[in-house]
Structure 1
């Protein structure tokens, strides 16, 4: 029995690493093109160093983890909230709404209040807390 010692040349190219790279690039491309976030268009206010002397009404709307609404600490339904905001806007056209959404509540409840404020064309702001507090 004879063992051949002469090396045979490779007649094919191993394309597996090249295909792996192509698939990784394809996945990255798909993820980057579909990662565009659809959301609300909000124009952020510019800060001012001069204190405001005007005093306008401020309504605080809280969303509990269960999804119920409170306006200035009093429980209301969405229809009652709309009526109270309409009355407040009629009394003071520059009134503002501060929206405090609980971190455990469903985001849809917060968006519903934001949509209501947009519909009524009321000034609004989202109340946030520092991370770790």
Structure 2
């Protein structure tokens, strides 16, 4: 076996394998950092030991596409709705009204029910559907 003595010494270093290793280490570092962030532990406050035993009345007001109003499925006018809510509020001061406005209903009809609840100082909630439902 004969050695080649005419070979020139390298005047530059090939850094490609070193850069490949650096990129792999960078990717591993990023993955491990994001994995550790997702595993944070949070101490949430605990509810009181006393469960709520209060039962309050709930009225469901539906606003139909034509502007018609339904209270728990029964059709009413806005004046009838006002008298019903006043009577129900007299019976239960913590009455809650759930307002279900149809997506095709006029916005003014839903706002009139909201204004009525505000005028009577009744707690209310707007019912929506889930995204994708």
Shorter-chain TM-score: what band?
A: 0.5 to 0.7
Corresponding position of 2:84: 84
For the residue of structure 2 that corresponds to 1:65, the secondary structure is: coil
Q: Which runs of 5+ in 1 are unaligned?
A: 1-47
TM-score calculated relative to the size of structure 2: 0.62
How far is the alpha carbon of 1:52 from its aligned partner? 2.9
1:41-120 maps to which residues of 2 (within 5 A)? 49=47, 51-120=51-120
How far is the alpha carbon of 1:49 from its aligned partner? 4.6
For the residue of structure 2 that corresponds to 1:97, the secondary structure is: strand
Q: Which runs of 5+ in 2 are unaligned?
A: 1-45
Greater radius of gyration (CA): 2
Residues paired across the two proteins, number: 86
Once residues 52 and 114 of structure 1 are traced to their aligned partners in structure 2, the CA distance between those partners, rounded to angstroms, is: 27
For the residue of structure 1 that corresponds to 2:119, the secondary structure is: helix
For the residue of structure 1 that corresponds to 2:111, the secondary structure is: helix
Once residues 54 and 102 of structure 1 are traced to their aligned partners in structure 2, the CA distance between those partners, rounded to angstroms, is: 30
* Structure 1 vs Structure 2 CA RMSD: 1.4
Once residues 112 and 53 of structure 1 are traced to their aligned partners in structure 2, the CA distance between those partners, rounded to angstroms, is: 33
**After TM superposition, which residue ranges in structure 1, 4 or more long, deviate above 6 angstroms?**
none
Once residues 114 and 74 of structure 2 are traced to their aligned partners in structure 1, the CA distance between those partners, rounded to angstroms, is: 19
Once residues 115 and 49 of structure 1 are traced to their aligned partners in structure 2, the CA distance between those partners, rounded to angstroms, is: 34
